[in-house]
Structure 1
Amino acid sequence: MKRKAEKQQAAPLSAIAARRARQQQAQNVTASEKTPEAQVGGEPPSKKPRRSLEVEETTAADRTTRTRSAKNSEAPVKISDGPSRATRSQKPAVQPPAHVVGENIEDEEPEEDGTTAIDEEDVPSTAGDPDGYESPAETPAELQNFPLSKGRLNKGNIVYGDDSTLCVRIKEKMNLALLGQYDLWVKRGVVSLMGAKLHPSARLHRVYAPSTHSLPVIKCVSGVDGEAEVEIKSCHSGIARLRDLSPLYQKVWNGNTTAADKLSLKEATKDSRRTFSVLYTSADDSMKRHLRPLHLEKKWSTSMKALSLRHGRLRVLVCGPKASGKSTFSRYLLNHLLSPAPETETGYTNADGVAFLDLDPGQPEFAPMGQVYLAHLRSPFFGPPFTHPSLDDSENGQMVRAHLIGATSPKEDPDHYALAAMDLMDHYRSLLARYPQCPLIINYPGWIFGQGLEVATWLVRCLGLSDVVYMSEKGPAEVVDPLGLSAREARVPMTILPSQPTDFVSRSSAQLRSMQIQSYFHISCPTGLSNPVWSSAPISRTRPIVVDYAGDRQGILGIMVVGSQIHSDLLREVLEGSIVGVVAVESPHAVAGEEMDLEQPNGNASLADSIVRTPQEDLPHLLTGSGSCTPLDPKTSHCLGLALIRSIDINSHKIELSTPIPPSQLRESMEQGQNIVLVRGQLDNPKWAISEEYHAARAAERRYQQSVSRPSNENRLAEPSDQEKKHSQTLALLRGRIRRASNVPWMTVVEDNSRRQREVTARREKSLWKLRKKAYPGSESETDWQ
């Protein structure tokens, strides 16, 4: 029984580890016959899952490879022509090297949309990543044929279809799972989608369903004659073109036309292809990915219905361990509250929207990493966070206020984190003056142990909540008991729900953050369009914003570096090529004292008195505290967004910034007398920005080679024609662009990515001098050289 229970806690490995496991089992027939098929548990354990002996044996080689990979995490940016693994690198103050994975395109078959099919190994594995999900992740398993849709399309339920549109009738209690991106129009009946009940209206709902997350399911709730009628239309937002800039965006959307698609495309042209595909099972996917439908636990649905009955009085805090489904539950609850249901159905209509207080700086829902914010939303959102990395202040939603934490975890400065949360809560109370029936959803991070538990219990007692939801039935008791005690003291009901982990993940948490921040820097919201669009131009080819940091036209007040002590002489090296927060300072007394107190922050220091000019560059270094920077007071400052510092020109005293912040927002802040401060935190380094030009150059060469027909063997011996010479010249120009793109700082192109070459690189890096800190009891931060 014990052996069986251990196997049930395991979950599938990546494609690489699974293949290695199958090879080892083929060599040892006896061992493979005795190894039963592993099963996935319904909820991840509170601690690291134990594994059976068979699993330990089959993953030994994979652990060795991951260990070698982790040692190479500090190497220069490597662009290789083969697969690589994701590693977690440290975050020094100076810009470290990045790591880029290229692909060999010579012998690959193009997909129907003009892209190149890549293998699962081309995307770094999530196994062994400390920043990855905490779901069980060590089971060798074959690709399962998992059911996705409950029902099949036929001539009777297909109303019409062409090369971009599909109109179908869905019977009650039936559903359809789609992969890709599309606009959904409900014509008859009522359907549910990601927690929202969509009634017939003239509105189109934009849906993003990538393979990186569980697929949303369109389900018929009620209909005319037992059927609902919906129209699904292709959309071209440009987000799919980000695959030309990063391997993480490859193999994300729908592939070749499925059998269900062909049934409605008979009268269309031969090369017709929509931006979405209907899937009955995971075997219908041409790329053979681990696809799963997005379904809710029954207890989740019951809890959401009970919470929604509070209407405008709802103030709910959603918390729990990592990877327990907090973000999914919050997103479902948000969509449920924002469903445009007629007043006649429930006797209540939500005209004031929903306030969303996101306290998770590591994986925020409507903002890039490193921020906590308060958003006022009016329409449901259908898609993962990287499909809405910012709000455009439209009728769908707007950002009320945001604060820069400067890190992916609040544990770096919990006092500043608590002050930011209280300030956002004050702005929610101000929002209630205009929208008195606006409910509140608070998303708390997975930082629920130790000091994080203290902050969570303090928030429960101070925020005036109506409900607390804890997302794990397995405890642990040292977390649930103090949280429940705080809820009882505040007279707030606490609901404990089962977690809903993801069985298969193709991207780690760090990779999803990279995708979200890259999407943030490429998104735009043109006037007149109800949905955002993405640009596939590398960030190095976009026009930057040039700001004076000294002189009569100085545009920024100062530059801060939080989280570490940086000497002013190194400020330029720290800033160039880094991500900074653009913070608007509302008062000259925005420095919150050296020792911040949660009750009475000291705001007597002046920013102008804390600025030190660097001797060489004349940069305005904002220093507070004992040689470091304490964060700005959240009551007198707020974050406008993030920016990438492309270069610093010391001759003209100008800084080049790339930022998606609208110029009108910056102009409005300056007109209100607010000063701009750039804050360098401890965010993940923008490796994606360094490699964008290289991947774009490779994609341009690939598209050109696919568009030009190759000459036959007989024509190769003949004299080349003028057109062939022109093709050769164009190809030479494209390859020259690739060479130039590969010769940039912090990046090295590795042509040979074989195991032997990786071992040589590991031995070379192992012989380098490294600083090691002694960590035995009694040591006093001593260092030695090894």
Structure 2
Amino acid sequence: MSDNESDSEPSSPNTPFVDQVLSSWNGQKANTEPAIDGSERIKLSYDQTLTSVGHYELKVISGVVSMYGAYLTTKSITRRVLASSTESLPVIRCVSGDWAEIQLSSVNDTSVSPDLSAVSPLFQGVWKCKCEHCVVNISASYIKLRHSSEHHLAKVSSLGTSVDWQQYLHTNAQRSSSTNGAFSIVVTGQNPLEISTFSRLLTNSLLTLGKSKSQSQVLFLDLDPERSENGWPGHISLSKIQQPVLQPNWTHDAQANDTILRAHPIGVKSNGRSKARYLAGVQDLVRLANKIRIANRRDPIQLLIHCPASAQIFGNGLIKNILEIVTDAEVVNISKTQLSTIPPTHKVTQLPPLPENIALFSSRSVSQQRDMQLQSYFHTTCRPKSSPCPSPITSWRPYVVSYSEGRCDFAGFHFTPEIPHMYPGMLSNLLNGTLVSIVVADDNMSFAEHEILRGEKDDLPYFAPSNDPIIDATMCSSIGIALIRSIDVERKLLLILAPPDMSKIASERIVLVAGLFDVPSWAYREDYHFRKHVAQTGDAEARKHFADTSSGVPWLECSDIV
């Protein structure tokens, strides 16, 4: 496979660079007090702001500050913030009438967000800066920035919101704390970045803002498999969020902020995606959300539904179908265009898009963000404890999974869309080196009633095409993603990288769903980039984790793109 870096290198916006003021905090020593433990205390006057890049812990000593929609007080626990230069940086703002004092502390725990820059150029430069003009402590894991030109990338920006957005967030959070019942909010629009940002702002405000007790949790229904906010790429999911989300979506697997309660495989690309299967998954997740909320009537839980922009853009009636399932929900439409197909049971709040001077920033394309999510997922969820981080996945010990008839460790492969008739003799070629969703049947379901065929040359088991759904959303769900690293046809074995939970599940309940993802070229390149990193740094210890090959990386043909 050719290693074309045009698909992997960061992509910068085409807009001309304009130096942006990121912090109104002036950096004076009178407002900054270093502590013995290496942390620092900073005083902010009313409406004064502070923007930093990197990862750090934030604690409020006095007063109240806001950050990414969350309102943090002295009663708040210490919050861990991961502020990446690849997107608009979260801003700490003093909202106290007088002063607020905060404490920032460095985080040097790689389990928080593993440094994957050694195995992927997508992760290079996302945290630290090495320029001379930053207000920076070299040993710190974060950097305070007053201007965007102080960062070596020179295109970082701070996160801004409009008055309309802020007003809605305030009003809605007050409603949440003053009413006894739970409510549902559907966030939709035509700009994916705005939908994602507003959903996160809304989640954080619900969790922290209110006249009385703030919400203990929010249910987050993520219906965008192409650019998932809380779940895994290629899936729709229902998550329970209990702490403000203060990090990019590609670091969620390293956080304890959210728990994926249930997920269904859909596919990262809209073409070839089954609308019926998508809506069946939505219906199942909404059913679960309602069940949870009914069981928690004494402590009402708000449901936030994050819709894909494609639900409106393609005019395929998808937003109407979703709203027919999510009854009695308020719809927040972030668009200049009114929605025309809204059931009468839904209240619609029309919010204008952000003005041009508050444009959201992302230096990674949608496919690059998915790659980052997947790499972060595998390095935090599937990496063996014996393997250091970072180390290329080629150096990890995989699970050995048998597919021989009579002692197969899973029920079979399911292809979506259906496998073409000419491919049964090429299954190993189709599957080798690909990603699959690990779907597990509930206790009351069996795959025995479905016909299972075998590949003509490699004997791989797969479900025969059927008019009846093999993956029934009401009776099975995904527990994660696996990478098929290699297939041993002679011994009928798969070598896969997967979450540890897979080994604890009865084989007849597991189906591996293929055809959902892009080709994981990032996985093939990790060893190449790691070798390059070691050659530049001279790290002798890291050499132990090269792939066991005598000729470097023989499966890649690399060309440098300037």
Common fold: TM-score over 0.5? yes
Residue 479 of structure 2 corresponds to residue 640 of structure 1: yes
Partner of 2:11: 125
Paired residues of 1:354 and 1:438 also in contact (CA < 8 A): yes
Secondary structure of the residue aligned to 1:283 is helix
Higher-Rg structure is 1
Residue 146 of structure 2 corresponds to residue 292 of structure 1: no
Paired residues of 1:324 and 1:499 also in contact (CA < 8 A): no
Q: For 1:509-548, what aligned pairs fall within 5 Å after superposition?
A: 509-524=366-381, 535-548=389-402
| C-alpha distance in 2 between matches for 1:234 and 1:525 | 27
Residue 117 of structure 2 corresponds to residue 243 of structure 1: yes
Secondary structure of the residue aligned to 2:308 is coil
The Cα shift of 1:499 comes to 4.0
CA RMSD across the alignment: 3.1
Aligned mate of 2:141, from 258, 262, 275: 275
Paired residues of 2:114 and 2:379 also in contact (CA < 8 A): no
Provide closer, same or farther for how the CA distance between residues 257 and 163 of structure 1 changes in structure 2, counting only shifts above 3 A: farther
**Which letter maps to 1:555?**
D
Partner of 1:320: 189
Partner of 1:183: 57
Structure 1 residue runs of 5 or longer lacking an equivalent are 1-75, 87-99, 101-122, 127-136, 266-271, 527-532, 591-605, 708-726, 755-786
Residue 292 of structure 2 corresponds to residue 431 of structure 1: yes
The Cα shift of 1:675 comes to 0.4
| C-alpha distance in 1 between matches for 2:459 and 2:334 | 51
| C-alpha distance in 1 between matches for 2:352 and 2:531 | 48
Q: For 1:136-535, what aligned pairs fall within 5 Å after superposition?
A: 139=15, 141=16, 143-161=17-35, 164-201=38-75, 203-222=77-96, 226-238=98-110, 239=113, 241-256=115-130, 259=133, 261=135, 272-285=138-151, 287-311=152-176, 312-323=181-192, 325-339=194-208, 346-351=211-216, 353-389=217-253, 396-409=257-270, 412-436=273-297, 437-449=300-312, 453-473=316-336, 475=337, 480-483=338-341, 486-487=342-343, 489-499=344-354, 502=359, 504-524=361-381, 535=389
Provide closer, same or farther for how the CA distance between residues 631 and 509 of structure 1 changes in structure 2, counting only shifts above 3 A: farther
Cα deviation digits, residues 650-669 of structure 1 (max 9, x gap): 2332211102x233x652x4
Provide closer, same or farther for how the CA distance between residues 734 and 635 of structure 1 changes in structure 2, counting only shifts above 3 A: closer
The Cα shift of 1:464 comes to 1.6
Secondary structure of the residue aligned to 2:292 is helix
Residue 439 of structure 2 corresponds to residue 583 of structure 1: yes
Cα deviation digits, residues 507-562 of structure 1 (max 9, x gap): 11111111111111111499xxxxxx993111111121112222454220111111
Paired residues of 2:228 and 2:236 also in contact (CA < 8 A): yes
Partner of 2:558: 749
**Which letter maps to 1:550?**
S
Paired residues of 1:180 and 1:253 also in contact (CA < 8 A): yes
The Cα shift of 1:443 comes to 0.3
Partner of 1:615: 456
Provide closer, same or farther for how the CA distance between residues 411 and 454 of structure 1 changes in structure 2, counting only shifts above 3 A: farther
Cα deviation digits, residues 75-111 of structure 1 (max 9, x gap): x4237xxxx534xxxxxxxxxxxxx7xxxxxxxxxxx
**Which letter maps to 2:144?**
V
Higher normalized strand content (fraction of residues): 2
| C-alpha distance in 1 between matches for 2:29 and 2:313 | 59
**Which letter maps to 2:183?**
L
Cα deviation digits, residues 276-327 of structure 1 (max 9, x gap): 0011011211x14211111111100111122223424220000111335001
The Cα shift of 1:195 comes to 0.4
**Which letter maps to 2:31?**
N
Provide closer, same or farther for how the CA distance between residues 614 and 438 of structure 1 changes in structure 2, counting only shifts above 3 A: same
Cα deviation digits, residues 688-733 of structure 1 (max 9, x gap): 00000011111111111xx8xxxxxxxxxxxxxxxxxxx9xx9999
Cα deviation digits, residues 734-754 of structure 1 (max 9, x gap): 99999833312xx20337x67
Secondary structure of the residue aligned to 2:33 is strand
Partner of 1:59: none
**Which letter maps to 1:282?**
S
| C-alpha distance in 1 between matches for 2:365 and 2:76 | 38
Structure 2 residue runs of 5 or longer lacking an equivalent are none
Paired residues of 1:258 and 1:278 also in contact (CA < 8 A): no
Partner of 1:529: none
**Which letter maps to 1:227?**
W
Cα deviation digits, residues 258-286 of structure 1 (max 9, x gap): 65635xx5xxxxxx42110011011211x
Paired residues of 2:119 and 2:529 also in contact (CA < 8 A): yes
Q: For 1:586-605, what aligned pairs fall within 5 Å after superposition?
A: 586=442
Secondary structure of the residue aligned to 2:42 is strand
Residue 411 of structure 2 corresponds to residue 557 of structure 1: yes
Paired residues of 2:411 and 2:508 also in contact (CA < 8 A): no
Provide closer, same or farther for how the CA distance between residues 289 and 614 of structure 1 changes in structure 2, counting only shifts above 3 A: same
Paired residues of 1:523 and 1:535 also in contact (CA < 8 A): no
The Cα shift of 1:446 comes to 1.0
| C-alpha distance in 2 between matches for 1:543 and 1:684 | 24
| C-alpha distance in 2 between matches for 1:735 and 1:407 | 31
Query: Higher mean Cα deviation, 462-471 or 178-187?
Result: 462-471
Cα deviation digits, residues 231-270 of structure 1 (max 9, x gap): 11111243362011111111211212665635xx5xxxxx
**Which letter maps to 1:350?**
Q
| C-alpha distance in 1 between matches for 2:239 and 2:388 | 22
Partner of 2:2: 77
Q: For 1:758-777, what aligned pairs fall within 5 Å after superposition?
A: none
| C-alpha distance in 2 between matches for 1:444 and 1:732 | 45
Paired residues of 1:188 and 1:200 also in contact (CA < 8 A): yes
The Cα shift of 1:451 comes to 6.2
The Cα shift of 1:144 comes to 2.0
Paired residues of 2:409 and 2:508 also in contact (CA < 8 A): no
Aligned mate of 1:570, from 426, 435, 456: 426
| C-alpha distance in 1 between matches for 2:103 and 2:228 | 31
**Which letter maps to 1:186?**
V
Partner of 2:534: 700
**Which letter maps to 2:318?**
V
Paired residues of 1:407 and 1:681 also in contact (CA < 8 A): no
Q: How many equivalent residue pairs?
A: 547
The Cα shift of 1:454 comes to 1.2
| C-alpha distance in 2 between matches for 1:247 and 1:191 | 35
The Cα shift of 1:631 comes to 5.4
The Cα shift of 1:633 comes to 1.2
Paired residues of 1:403 and 1:420 also in contact (CA < 8 A): yes
Cα deviation digits, residues 127-152 of structure 1 (max 9, x gap): xxxxxxxxxx655x2x3221000121
Query: Higher mean Cα deviation, 684-693 or 497-506?
Result: 497-506
| C-alpha distance in 1 between matches for 2:376 and 2:543 | 31
| C-alpha distance in 2 between matches for 1:674 and 1:736 | 33
**Which letter maps to 2:173?**
S
> Percent same amino acid at aligned positions?
27
Partner of 2:512: 678
Higher normalized helix content (fraction of residues): 1
| C-alpha distance in 1 between matches for 2:29 and 2:362 | 35
**Which letter maps to 1:358?**
D
Provide closer, same or farther for how the CA distance between residues 240 and 162 of structure 1 changes in structure 2, counting only shifts above 3 A: farther
Secondary structure of the residue aligned to 1:635 is coil
**Which letter maps to 2:558?**
V
Paired residues of 1:308 and 1:337 also in contact (CA < 8 A): yes
Paired residues of 1:182 and 1:233 also in contact (CA < 8 A): yes
| C-alpha distance in 1 between matches for 2:285 and 2:450 | 28
Provide closer, same or farther for how the CA distance between residues 164 and 689 of structure 1 changes in structure 2, counting only shifts above 3 A: farther
